[in-house]
Amino acid sequence: MNALPSPAAAGNPAGAGRLALQALMVAGLALLAALPWLGADDYLIAVGINILQYGVLATAWALFSGPTRYVSLATVAFFGIGAYTAAVVGETLPWPAVLAVALGISVVLALVVGLATLRLSGVHFVIFTFGLAELVHQLVNWYEVNVTRTLGRYLFVDITQVQIYWQLLALLVGVLATGWAIRRSRLGLALQVIGDDEVVARHVGIDTTRAKLLLFAISAGFIGLAGAVMAPRWTYIDPAIAFNPVISFQVLIMALLGGANRLFGPLLGVLPVAILFELLSGSFPNHFMILLGLVFMAIVYFIPNGLFGLLQRRRHRAGKEGSK
Amino acid sequence: MLIVDVLLAGFTLGGMYALIAMGLTLQYGVARIMNLSYGEVLVMSAFGTWFAVTRLDWNPVAVLLASLPLGYLASWLIYRVLMMPLVRRSGAGPALEVDSILATFGLLFLLQGVLLLAFGGNYYSYSYLSQPVDILGSQVAANRLVVLGFAAAIGLGLYLLLTRSRLGTAVRAVAVAPRFAPLVGIDVWRLSAIAFGIGGALVAGGGTLLSMFLPFSATMGVVFAMKALVVVIMGGVGNLLGCLVAGLMLGFAETLVARFVDPGLTLAVNFALFLLVLLLRPAGLFGRVAR
Amino acid sequence: MSAPLLKVAGLTKAFGGLVAVDKLSFEVAPGEVIGLVGPNGSGKTTAMNLISGALRADRGSIRLGEAELVGLRPDRIVRHGVARTFQLVRVLGSLSCADNVAAGLAFHPGGAFGAGARERIHALLARVGLGGREELPAGELTYIDQKRLELARALALSPRLLLLDEWLAGLNPTELREGIALIRSLRDEGLTMILVEHVMEAVHALCNRCVVMNAGVLLADGPTAEVLRNPEVVRAYLGEDVETDDLPPPRLPTGEAATQLNLGAGGQHA
């Protein structure tokens, strides 16, 4: 989470290079979208869903935590709310309305939590988000036990795996497009300034709390949507499944590994970690958490700036040697 | 007698929270490490005590005497081996906060994984001094009184250590002015390791005490760490008196809600209290507002 | 004297037991450039922080035109037209020079963002002598150039009142001359400024009036040349400060000069 070595190291890709990159991205996207028609089997789609899910979550997480450097440990709180909302209203409302409700609740919760904690220092925010998932978990539990008297719900909706896959892909495009747009907006500049020096930010007229709040809500909205989209995959949902803290943890690992300060950084981290965990959880189910902890610590100690930072430093160094 | 019931339960729980939070406030206020894996040390100590009591036939009080130095040693090692590289890397600057949160978050999962592997996810407990004692017409398990007594003794011991000894003065100097402490000949890193270790001793002692009167499981460390963090911040970072007051507030709030409303809402009460205090006094009850 | 642009009255701020600013009162007329001087620790920077909203006053009032600034957040105060630089220079090191100035332009009513801001950014950078460095990361500038950049960022806020906190400190003679010329050109355009400054050469050259603080209280307020000859002011400096290089040669106070001064804490601004 340290500052990137130097923006100059990123360099400016020439116009032609950028165009080629964009063409490549569109082609890649088309390929991903067409994957179900290209004879991908169920297993491949399942892997794709897993990767896309974390892609959305990690990118959305970094949307807020990257520029502001507020480490949010609450990913699963919003994810779980999205999933649980889908489980509650999924069979009574049309699917787009379900997504809208999940989005709305996540955003409102983020605004309430943010309003209460973002005015305070970063540590308060971390502590609060550390417990938020557990808090929401307990509250949902309490509500289900005392009010609805049904702990655990079945969700039968007519949504196939492939449809989930496409929804997640669309969501990923949505997060990336939003991140791209923010970077070019006044809000993006405000966040860059806040990330660099919050005191200066206030003294150039930035309402820092409002900027952070807005971004936190946007990020939480996407995470909640991802939860709702994923819900039909489980058919059975109870609070322990929806609010599993390991999800927050994995998202954090991926985003940090990739590099939280870049739009595409988190995606870079999703691929290796998702594959690694897929292998680990299959081969060492009992040691999974230990390995999770070890992988995480290895990243914090050895790749503090993320893979993106690592690549950049390489390029920077190569560039320097080349110019000698 | 309902009042006596509530008072005793509130004091025991609040006293435990205060004790655990005192250790954390040393680790965060002096050594500047926001230790999210703090609760895992507590639970490890509880399991260690359970093992010594049920398998080796030790007396829990004897275990307490052993767990204090062991907790110190283990935490001192964690600081020297795991935290020092981060302290060096960040130059003890603002990056240390984020780095330490991340590293100890990883440690949390590592330790919890080990505990789950060794003990599974079930609740454990053992019976110690569970016969009831009559106090003002109220029946209380004797072990709670013992726990309350030891918690108070350890807290008082820490207070005396910090206010009356040369070591304590140095620790407080580092807490207040880490940049200037070296100017009066204080080795900040050595002191930080010691403070981190003392914090570990307190939480290990807390784990042993906890096991005397409450069932525990491998996954409950997170909630305890969170409550301790809430107490530390509510009381004002680095302030022992703040820990005591905030710990008791939390203990009583939980006891009252569990007794009269619903045990499922204790965490919600914690958070409500946390937010209320911070909105009214952003630096905590006894914290100093930074210039 | 026309209606003051800034009117500070009874301003007080304490840190624990230390009263850093004690019932400070003074006024600044539109277009005026005043020096806020005094030995280190006399409360000058605290006063600046109170005006810019970085700190919140315990008591007293700060009026800018019709608006009361006490109790407002810094970002609100900026929108009322107060800009500042910092004693220890604070540029946004990871951003380019152009983006540093863009940050000053983007978040206030008279500002601009995106393509519309480009020309103003160029003009502001050129004005402070940083033309052509638009894309350079601010963190790679020299100390002096960082100060220039900080000034450009402050000017981008189109302030009615500019607070310069030791902006001229640490410059070599050539740079100092350029710096003074730059501030003088701002003065000639009618910008109201408060300079916290130890460099007496600059204070003499730029400020018609000086407000002297010592130990949190107003010691003197009057025309620069006279105030700096005031025996109490001289004693405050020589008694407590080590920066004797910056001092005018101590002169024995003449009886005449002393009678023309406004002595004491806020004498005329009850």
Domain assignments of chain C as residue spans, ordered by start = 1-81+208-217+263-270
pLDDT band at C265 (very low <50, low <70, confident <90, very high): very low
Picking from B109, B112, B273 by the largest number of A CB atoms within 10 A of its own CB, the best residue to mutate is B109
Least confident of A42-56, A198-212, A250-264, C147-161: A250-264
Is pLDDT of C196 > 80?
yes
Beta-carbon separation of B109 and A292 below 8 A: yes
Report residue C253 CA to chain centroid gap.
28
3-class secondary-structure state, position C192: strand
Least confident stretch, A160-164, A238-242, B146-150, B175-179: B175-179
Write out chain A residues lying below 8 Å of C84, CB-based: 203
Instruction: Indicate the DSSP class of residue C90.
Output: -
Chain A stretch 204-223, residues whose beta carbon is closer than 8 A to a beta carbon of chain C: 204-208
Q: Which of B190-199, B229-238, C184-193, C245-254 has the lowest mean pLDDT?
A: C245-254
Residue C70, pLDDT > 50, answer yes
Specify whether the CB–CB gap between B174 and B181 falls below 8 A: yes
pLDDT attached to residue C251: 40
The count of CB pairs under 8 A between chains A and B is 116
Average pLDDT score, chain C:
84
CB contact under 8 A, A289 and B116: yes
Collect all residues of chain B within an 8 Å Cβ-Cβ radius of residue A146: 262, 264
Q: Which residues of C touch A7 (CB under 8 A)?
A: 94-96, 137
Top mean pLDDT of A306-315, B263-272, C123-132 is at: C123-132
More confident residue, A121 or C259: A121
H-run or E-run covering C19: strand C18-28
**DSSP secondary structure string for all residues of A235-302:** SEE-HHHHT-HHHHHHHHHHHHHH-TTSSSHHHHHHHHHHHHHHHHHHH-GGGHHHHHHHHHHHHHHH
* Residues of B with Cβ-Cβ distance to C15 under 8 angstroms: 291
Which helix (H) or strand (E) is C102 found in, with range? helix C97-106
Is pLDDT of C269 > 50? no
**Pairing relation of β-strands C6-15 and C18-28?**
antiparallel
pLDDT higher than threshold 80 for residue A320: no
Q: Tokens 């509530």 map to which residue?
A: B6
Q: Is residue B81 part of a domain?
A: yes
Q: What is the least distance, in Å, from the CA of B287 to any CA of chain C?
A: 12
Q: Measure in Å the smallest separation between the Cα of C97 and chain A Cα atoms.
A: 12
Residues of B in contact with A138 (CB under 8 A): 264-265, 267-268
> Has residue A189 got a pLDDT over 70?
yes
Whole-angstrom Cα distance, residue A241 to residue A289? 16
Cross-strand pairs, C15: C18
Neighbours of chain A (3+ CB pairs under 8 A): B, C
Q: Could you say which residues from 95 to 124 on chain C have a Cβ atom under 8 Å away from some Cβ of chain A?
A: 95-96, 99, 102-104, 106-108, 111, 113
Span of B39-48, B101-110, C36-45, C227-236 with lowest mean pLDDT: C227-236
- A299 → chain B, closest CA residue: B103
CB-based contact (8 Å) between B233 and chain A? Answer: yes
- Inter-residue contact C223 to C247 (CB < 8 Å): no
DSSP summary character for residue C263:
B
**B287 in a domain, yes or no?**
no
Domains held by chain B: number = 1
Instruction: Tell if the CB–CB gap between A202 and C75 is shorter than 8 Å.
Output: yes
Q: Which domain holds residue B87?
A: 2-280
Q: How many whole angstroms from its chain centre is CA C38?
A: 13
Tell me the nearest-neighbour CA distance from A92 into chain B, angstroms: 29
Q: Higher model confidence: residue C184 or residue A142? A: C184
Sign for the pseudo-dihedral over CA of C122, C127, C128, C130: positive
Cα torsion through A44, A48, A49, A51, rounded to 10: 140
The model's pTM: 0.81
Mutate to test the interface with A, among C45, C73, C92 (most CBs of A within 10 A): C92
Q: How far is C97 from chain B (nearest CA, A)?
A: 24
C-chain residues within 8 Å CB-CB of A207? 73, 75
Q: What's residue A316's pLDDT?
A: 61
> Where residue B207 sits, what CATH number does that domain have?
1.10.3470
- Residues of chain A neighbouring B109 (CB-CB closer than 8 A): 249, 289-290, 292-293, 296
Q: What is the mean pLDDT of residues C23-28?
A: 93
Interval B196-231: pLDDT, tens: 999 999 999 999 999 988 899 988 888 888 889 889
Q: How large is the average pLDDT for residues C40-50? A: 89
Asked if B98 is an interface residue toward chain A (Cβ–Cβ < 8 A), one would say yes
Which residues of A fall within a CB distance of 8 Å from C94? 3-4, 7, 192, 195-196
Report the range of poorest mean pLDDT among A16-30, A185-199, A253-267, B9-23: A16-30
- In the numeric block, the tokens 């110190």 are attached to B72
Contact A146 B262 (CB under 8 A): yes
- The CA-atom distances, in angstroms, between C206 and each of C33, C189, C218 are 7, 13, 21
Q: How far is C132 from chain B (nearest CA, A)?
A: 33
CB of A203 less than 8 A from some CB of C: yes
Q: Are A90 and A157 in contact (CB under 8 A)?
A: yes
Residue B244 lies in a domain: yes
Mean pLDDT check: name the lowest of C70-74, C84-88, C226-230. C226-230
Judged by a CB distance cut-off of 8 A, whether residue B265 touches chain A is yes
User: Worst-scoring range by mean pLDDT, A31-40, A167-176, A282-291?
Assistant: A31-40
Highest averaged pLDDT of the listed ranges B65-74, B126-135, C234-243: B65-74
Mean pLDDT of B279-289: 72
With respect to residue B290, please indicate whether it lies within any of the assigned structural domains: no
- Angle of helix A265-283 relative to helix A245-258, nearest 10 degrees, comes to 130
Under 8 Å between Cβ of C167 and C179: yes
User: Do the Cβ atoms of B241 and B235 come closer than 8 Å?
Assistant: yes
* Residues in CB range of B223: below 8 A, 6 or more apart: A131, A134, B39, B267
| pLDDT recorded at residue A15 | 65
For residue A317, what pLDDT is reported? Answer: 59
Closest CA to B211 of B20, B42, B12: B42
- Provide the pLDDT for residue B174: 82
Question: What integer is the mean pLDDT of B149-177?
Answer: 85
Q: What is the DSSP string of A139-165?
A: HHHHHIIIII---SEE---S--HHHHH
How many contacts does B have with C, using Cβ atoms within 8 A? 3
Q: Are A27 and A217 in contact (CB under 8 A)?
A: no
pLDDT at A318: 58
* Per-residue model confidence (pLDDT) at position A8: 39
In angstroms, the separation between the Cα of residue B204 and the nearest Cα of chain A is 21
* B128 domain residue, yes or no: yes
3-state SS track over chain B:
CHHHHHHHHHHHHHHHHHHHHHHHHHHHHCCCCCCCCHHHHHHHHHHHHHHHHHHCCCCHHHHHHHHHHHHHHHHHHHHHHHHHHHHHHHCCCCHHHHHHHHHHHHHHHHHHHHHHHHHCCCCECCCCCCCEEEECCEEEEHHHHHHHHHHHHHHHHHHHHHHHCHHHHHHHHHHHCCCCHHHHCCCHHHHHHHHHHHHHHHHHHHHHHHHHHCCECCCCHHHHHHHHHHHHHHHCCCCHHHHHHHHHHHHHHHHHHHHHCCHHHHHHHHHHHHHHHHHHCCCCCCCCCCC
Cα gap A88→A92, rounded to integer Å: 8
| Structure-model confidence comparison of residues A170 and A148, the more confident one | A170
Does the beta carbon of B263 lie under 8 angstroms from any beta carbon of chain A? no
C-alpha closest to that of C170 among C140, C148, C139, C192: C148
> Which of A299-308, B10-19, C86-95, C193-202 has the lowest average pLDDT?
A299-308
Task: Taking residues A98-126, report their average pLDDT.
Answer: 86
Residue A202 touches partner C, C-beta closer than 8 Å = yes
The β-bridge partners of C28 are: C6
Nearest CA to CA, how far is C143 from chain A (Å)?
Answer: 17
Buried b (16+ CB within 10 A) or exposed e, C244-256: eebeeeeeebeee
Q: According to the per-residue pLDDT averaged within each range, which of A17-21, A300-304, C35-39, C156-160 is highest?
A: C156-160
Q: CA-CA distance, C252 to C248, in Å (whole number)?
A: 12
Chains touching C (3+ CB pairs < 8 Å):
A, B
How would residue B1 be classed by pLDDT, with cut points 50, 70 and 90? Answer: low
Percent of chain A with pLDDT over 70: 90
Q: In 3D, which of A143, A67, A63, A173 has the Cα closest to residue A110? A: A63
Higher pLDDT, A319 or A209: A209
* Cα(C195)–Cα(C184) distance, integer angstroms: 12
Say if B147 falls within a structural domain.
yes
With a cut of 60, say whether residue B86 has pLDDT above it: yes
Higher-scoring residue by pLDDT: C184, A196: C184
Higher per-residue pLDDT: A108 or B229: A108
The confidence score (pLDDT) of residue A319 equals 53
Residues of B in contact with A117 (CB under 8 A): 275, 278
Segment B114-118 long-range contacts (CB within 8 Å, at least 24 positions apart): B114/A290, B115/B40, B115/B43, B115/B44, B115/B47, B115/B218, B115/B221, B116/A289, B116/B218, B116/B219, B117/A286, B117/A287, B117/A290, B118/B47, B118/B218
Average pLDDT over residues A201-222: 93
pLDDT confidence of B289, banded at 50, 70, 90? very low
User: C1-81+208-217+263-270: what CATH class?
Assistant: alpha beta
pLDDT band at B288 (very low <50, low <70, confident <90, very high): low
pLDDT band at A197 (very low <50, low <70, confident <90, very high): confident
Which chain A positions have a beta carbon within 8 Å of C102's beta carbon?
Answer: 189
Q: Which of B121-135, B149-163, C176-190 has the lowest mean pLDDT?
A: B121-135
List of chain C residues whose C-beta atoms are within 8 Å of the C-beta of residue A201: 75, 103
pLDDT in tens, C104-144: 999 988 888 888 889 999 999 999 989 888 899 998 998 88
**What's the mean per-residue pLDDT of chain B?**
85
- In this predicted structure, the answer to whether residue C150 has a pLDDT above a threshold of 50 is yes
What pLDDT is stored for residue A174 in this prediction? 95
Radius of gyration (C-alpha) of chain C in whole angstroms: 19
Which residue in B50, B56, B23, B291 sits closest to B176, CA to CA?
Answer: B291
**How many CA atoms are closer than 13 Å to the CA of B194, on its beta-carbon side?**
17
Where does the pLDDT of residue A313 fall: very low under 50, low under 70, confident under 90, or very high at 90 and above?
low
| Token pair of B126 as six digits | 């053992």
Whether the predicted pLDDT of C267 surpasses 70: no
C93 at the A interface (CB within 8 A)?
yes
Chain B residue numbers touching C16 (CB-CB < 8 A): 288
B287–chain A nearest CA distance, Å:
14
Over range C43-67, report the average pLDDT. 92
Nearest C-alpha in A relative to C96: A7
- Greatest mean pLDDT among A15-24, A107-116, A220-229, C209-218 lies in A220-229
User: Which of C54, C90, C106 lies nearest to residue A186, judging by beta carbons?
Assistant: C106
